[in-house]
């Protein structure tokens, strides 16, 4: 599962593919921490790997991998 942290004009959001809508955050660090917690919870619950991808300024990077 890939959970995405996006920055759009100083607005941070977390896109969880299991949720119907994005969660909004004022700070990127808060958004990343929330996404990391979701990734860890998904791996703990299912045993499947999770990735946190950060998208900002037209680029993206897979910043965290949980599991194999």
pLDDT > 90 fraction of the chain, expressed in percent and rounded: 85
Span 5-25, mean pLDDT? 91
CB under 8 Å to 33, separation ≥6 — which residues? Answer: none
CA nearest to 65, candidates 13, 12, 2: 2
- pLDDT at position 20: 81
**Helix, strand, coil percentages for the chain (3-state, nearest 5):** 30, 45, 30
Q: What is the pTM of this model?
A: 0.92
* Alpha carbons 56 and 18: distance in angstroms, whole number: 22
């Amino acid at each position: 599962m890939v959970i995405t942290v996006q920055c759009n004009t100083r607005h941070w959001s977390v896109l969880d593919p299991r949720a119907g809508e994005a969660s909004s955050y004022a700070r990127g660090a808060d958004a990343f921490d929330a996404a990391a917690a979701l990734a860890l919870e998904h791996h703990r619950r299912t045993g499947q790997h999770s990735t946190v991808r950060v998208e900002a300024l037209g680029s993206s990077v897979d910043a965290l991998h949980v599991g194999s």
